[in-house]
Amino acid sequence: MSTSEISVVRVQDASKRFIIHKEKSLKERAIGLFKDRERGKDDFWALRDVNLDIEAGSTVGLVGHNGSGKSTLLKLIGGILQPTTGTVEHRGRVAALLELGAGFHPDLTGRENVFLNASILGLSQKQTEKHFDEMVDFSGIERFIDTQVKFYSSGMYVRLAFAVAVHVDPEILLVDEVLAVGDEPFQRKCMDRIHEFQSEGRTIILVSHSAQQVGELCDRAVVLDSGRVIFDGLPERGLQVLRQGYEDARQEELEIKAVAAPSTQATLAKVELFDRTGSRAAEFDAGDSVDVALTFRSPTPLTRWRAGISIETPLAQVVYGTNTELAAVDLPTLMGERQVVFRIPRLDLVTGQYYVTAALEHADGTAIDWKSQAAMFTVHSDTRAVGTADLRPLIETRSTQDRSLA
């Protein structure tokens, strides 16, 4: 079977242009500027030449900076927006959970909206009646089902919208960030439901700012930057590309600031890893010791500061984090260059790749400088386990009967 035969979403050379209507100032209006209507408009390309083939049964995370075009792409896939050029096709019933407000009518009650929304998604009145109790039960807002949704909190709104979306039997589920609105138990419930969807072979496309969510759910990440796809592949790599982008933007901002006003600020200059022999290293065996050495510089005296590190997985889950204040270590005034070394006596981690993020902060926790994923290392462990901590339990078995007799 060719890719095109099994793909349920196909985006070909799609671009989307928005026309932005500029507000004229009072002065411009008074002196009759912008007589030509076109001069009050600006073209803006939110997406440029996007190509995507999404296979049935995959879960794809759309990630990128604010304004990079994720929601616009999701709306094109859902058919809510049409591309300016190019084509977007999908096969199968689509349920879309887009931003708050889309899909529900504020003056109608929860109950009325469920019927309206389900019918838009292709369910007959009878089918909706059949699933109605399940939907309301899933939403957990039965007490408010006959209240107009304009009085709902954003969390209640999302609960009901999600409940409808997952009960209309969609082949493709589009989810835009809304999961972040629900409270923790509801988010967990949604995640479980999404896992169920995955095991049933349905296709999910979600926009998320949560690296953890993308790592946990997706088998593919598409990274957007200024409306273009800059990466399409494994989530681990996609999240690295995204983080590198954030880091580059931060560095660029710092450089611009530095040119505008030469900094008197202290910096975290280097993050290095050393093995027990004092050599620079990036490969360790579980149980080895590692020195994480941070080099700081300050052109003026900096008092009451702290240094911190965290060890993270490629999906940004923190395995361990500490700082000199938590460790009750007093640091002398920083002037010129100084190194702070965190010696970890045993790296009891399971086989895998890990990153060190490090920071320089004021004593009250406000950031002065930091380096995200500044150093990478690999751990080799001979134990076979999942997770990150290499706890090496001793496993023994006992007869509980013998114990009760004793």
Q: Catalog residues that contact ligand ATP under the rule CB under 6 A.
A: 18, 20, 44, 46, 64, 66-72
> How far apart, in whole angstroms, are the C-alpha atoms of residue 1 and residue 9?
16
Judged by CB, which is closer to ligand ATP: 223, or 379? Answer: 223
Question: Exposed, middle or buried: residue 147 (CB in 10 Å: 0-12, 13-18, 19+)?
Answer: middle
Least CB distance to ligand ATP at residue 316 (A): 17
Least CB distance to ligand ATP at residue 48 (A): 11
Question: Exposed, middle or buried: residue 251 (CB in 10 Å: 0-12, 13-18, 19+)?
Answer: exposed
Question: Residue for token digits 């009650």?
Answer: 109
Least CB distance to ligand ATP at residue 117 (A): 22
Least CB distance to ligand ATP at residue 213 (A): 14
DSSP at 183: -
Q: Decide: 7 and 88 in contact? Cβ < 8 Å.
A: no
Judged by CB, which is closer to ligand ATP: 81, or 163? Answer: 81
Distance of CA 299 to the CA centre of its chain: 37
The residues with which 229 forms a beta bridge, in sequence order, are 224
Question: Exposed, middle or buried: residue 227 (CB in 10 Å: 0-12, 13-18, 19+)?
Answer: buried
Judged by CB, which is closer to ligand ATP: 242, or 292? Answer: 242
SS3 96: strand
Judged by CB, which is closer to ligand ATP: 242, or 368? Answer: 242
Q: Decide: 366 and 323 in contact? Cβ < 8 Å.
A: no
Judged by CB, which is closer to ligand ATP: 123, or 222? Answer: 222
Least CB distance to ligand ATP at residue 63 (A): 9
Least CB distance to ligand ATP at residue 75 (A): 8
Judged by CB, which is closer to ligand ATP: 62, or 266? Answer: 62
